[in-house]
Amino acid sequence: MSPALLALLGAVLMWPGVQALICQWGTFEALEYTSRMPLQWTAGERVCEGDEGCQDTLVLIENGPLVYIVLTKGCTQATDHEARITKHNPGPGVSVISYTRVCRQDACNDLPTTLPLWDLPSPTVPASMRCPVCLSPASCRSTREETCPAGTTHCYSGELVFIGGGIGTSVSIQGCVPQEGCNLFKGTQHIGPLVMIENCIPRGLLTCHQGNMQWTHHNLSHEPVKWPTQRQQTCDIVEVCQETLLLIDVGHTSLILGSKGCSLDWTEPAPTISIHSGPPGVLIASYAQFCSSDGCNRANSTSVLLNSLPHPAVPAPGDLQCPACVEVSGTCAENSKNITCPKGTTQCYSGYIRLSGGGASYTVNVQGCMTQPSGSLLNHTWDIGVFSVYESSDGNETLPQARAAPPLYLAWAVGLGLFLALWYGEPSVLTLFPDDS
């Protein structure tokens, strides 16, 4: 933008007695190797409103050979202050340092380089402890352990979220730190226009057993079958391990569906046994466990469910006859085998149970005897362990979104989308290149 046009815009936006400032304007976020430091940049410009001043905010997060850079320049209502350099977490290990300045002269937010914050890393003496080390704008999925520098005593695992000044980003961090806890910023929640949110878990990424199982056979409600582990899975930072079993028994045949893996869901850590329907009639029962230690979803047979089921005496036969069938990913035949229903059942059931979750989806056609006058086997249950479930009379109906995103993540996604739409409505220019001087 030409100086003449900027001056014209300043005159248009000028308040009585107040000259609108022209400030450097732009944002930058990047993961770089420390070998490329220091960096310098050029920024765009913008005419501010009213009595706004200019601000510079720079945050560097160093971890091993990598450094994450968060930079924002623009207009602000904040009070003037000289340049402040704050070593929030000076190291050794994970290092967090910031620079802020607010001023009220044209383009006075002219920080052009990381040099005020950057010192060449000092040689370190290795310690005896080892920690996973990672610095990434994505989740730290597969992390290599490295030897920590002397002076560090604990392993850190967390996520930093930055919001404000045109920034909306998160950084996952694992590394060595000198003290225990989730406090890389030592209580600081604002740096210039940036708001920081720190989320930590008191462990590294979990490793869970993973795999799906499907068995169709007679008498699965009495005779346990093996639940083999197919592979291992490394979870994301906020996930836990889960294992879920669902049993559907219509009399002469039965179905077991099983899932093991990682899950965002979290319920009580104690295993949950639920009987959704019967006996008498169609038996639907489930086992679910969510746990937070490596490999804790280690049940190796369906006995974890069967041992907790009631086994009443075989009821006397009644007068009702119904077709009985359980069919996965298909439809029961029109001439399904009829069975004599046990005494106490009142009607025939025919419907579909759709399940989705744990990396699999199923549509199960069920026919059999039932006692519930509502005509529902699940009594409007929406969740069974890791599965979202939906019961209907039509196998072509779409599974509703019964399990919404957790409120924290949903609110964050909506707010961030609106914020970025407002910010990028006025494009800015920021060019970054290495400082070779």
360-381 pLDDT, tens digit each: 999 999 999 998 777 789 888 8
Write out pLDDT tens, residues 78-108.
Answer: 999 999 999 999 888 999 999 999 999 999 9
Given a cut of 70, whether residue 192 has pLDDT beyond it is yes
Mean pLDDT, the chain, rounded, equals 81
In this predicted structure, what is the pLDDT of residue 255? 96
Instruction: Measure CA of the first residue to CA of the last residue in the chain; give whole Å.
Output: 28
Residue 399 lies in a domain: no
Strands 194-200 and 190-191: antiparallel
Which residues have a Cβ under 8 Å from the Cβ of 392 and sit 6 or more positions away? 351, 352, 354
In this predicted structure, what is the pLDDT of residue 101? 96
Q: Are residues 183 and 268 in the same domain?
A: no
In this predicted structure, what is the pLDDT of residue 121? 63
User: Of 419 and 321, which is predicted with more confidence?
Assistant: 321
Q: Are residues 269 and 307 in the same domain?
A: yes
In this predicted structure, what is the pLDDT of residue 188? 87
User: Of 160 and 293, which is predicted with more confidence?
Assistant: 160
In this predicted structure, what is the pLDDT of residue 258? 95
Q: Which residues pair with 405 in a beta bridge?
A: none
Q: Sign of torsion, CA 76 79 81 85?
A: negative
Cα angle value 283/289/294 (rounded, 5°): 150
Q: Are residues 115 and 238 in the same domain?
A: no
Query: Which DSSP letter does residue 356 get?
Result: E
Residue 275 lies in a domain: yes
Q: Are residues 250 and 192 in the same domain?
A: no
Q: Are residues 355 and 421 in the same domain?
A: no
User: Of 340 and 311, which is predicted with more confidence?
Assistant: 340
In this predicted structure, what is the pLDDT of residue 297? 92
Contact assessment for residue 369 and residue 324, using Cβ atoms and an 8 Å cutoff: yes
Say which amino acid occupies 76.
Answer: T
Residue 22 lies in a domain: yes
- Residue of 353, 390, 342, 349 lying closest to 373 (CA atoms): 349
In this predicted structure, what is the pLDDT of residue 242? 92
Residue 401 lies in a domain: no
Q: Where are the beta strands (DSSP E) in 385-426?
A: 387-392
3-state secondary structure 169-234: EEEEEEEEECCCCCCCCCCCCEECCEEEEEEECCCCCCEEEEEEEEEEECCCCCCCCECCCCEEEE
Q: Which range is most confident: 134-148, 158-172, 250-264?
A: 250-264
User: Of 134 and 313, which is predicted with more confidence?
Assistant: 134
Q: How many helices (H) and strands (E) does the chain have?
A: 3, 26
Q: By 3-state DSSP, what share of the chain in percent is helix, strand and coil, each rounded to 5?
A: 10, 50, 40
Give the up-direction half-sphere exposure of residue 55: CA atoms within 13 A in the CB hemisphere. Answer: 23
Q: Are residues 388 and 424 in the same domain?
A: no
Given a cut of 80, whether residue 143 has pLDDT beyond it is no
Which residues have a Cβ under 8 Å from the Cβ of 418 and sit 6 or more positions away? none
Write out pLDDT tens, residues 256-275.
Answer: 999 999 987 655 556 889 99
Contact assessment for residue 58 and residue 71, using Cβ atoms and an 8 Å cutoff: yes
3-state secondary structure of 306: helix
Q: Are residues 256 and 304 in the same domain?
A: yes
In this predicted structure, what is the pLDDT of residue 421? 28
Residue 10 lies in a domain: yes
Six-digit token string for 142 = 């597969």
- Domain extent, residue 19, equals 3-205+416-434
- Residue of 76, 96, 74, 106 lying closest to 10 (CA atoms): 106
Say which amino acid occupies 41.
Answer: W
Q: Are residues 146 and 94 in the same domain?
A: yes
3-state secondary structure of 248: strand
Given a cut of 70, whether residue 414 has pLDDT beyond it is no
Q: Which range is most confident: 37-41, 136-140, 254-258?
A: 254-258
Q: Are residues 84 and 50 in the same domain?
A: yes
**Mean pLDDT confidence for 10-37:** 76
Which residues have a Cβ under 8 Å from the Cβ of 385 and sit 6 or more positions away? 242, 243, 244, 245, 246, 259, 272, 286, 287, 288, 289, 357, 358
Cα angle value 403/407/410 (rounded, 5°): 90
Residues above pLDDT 70, as percent of the chain: 81
Domain count, the chain: 2
Largest Cα span, the chain: 96
Residue 314 lies in a domain: yes
Residue 400 lies in a domain: no
Q: Are residues 199 and 221 in the same domain?
A: no
In this predicted structure, what is the pLDDT of residue 142? 52
Q: Are residues 215 and 339 in the same domain?
A: yes
Q: Are residues 357 and 388 in the same domain?
A: yes
- Residue of 85, 94, 114 lying closest to 192 (CA atoms): 85
Residue 378 lies in a domain: yes
Given a cut of 90, whether residue 344 has pLDDT beyond it is no
**For the chain, what is the radius of gyration of the CA atoms?**
30
pTM: 0.50
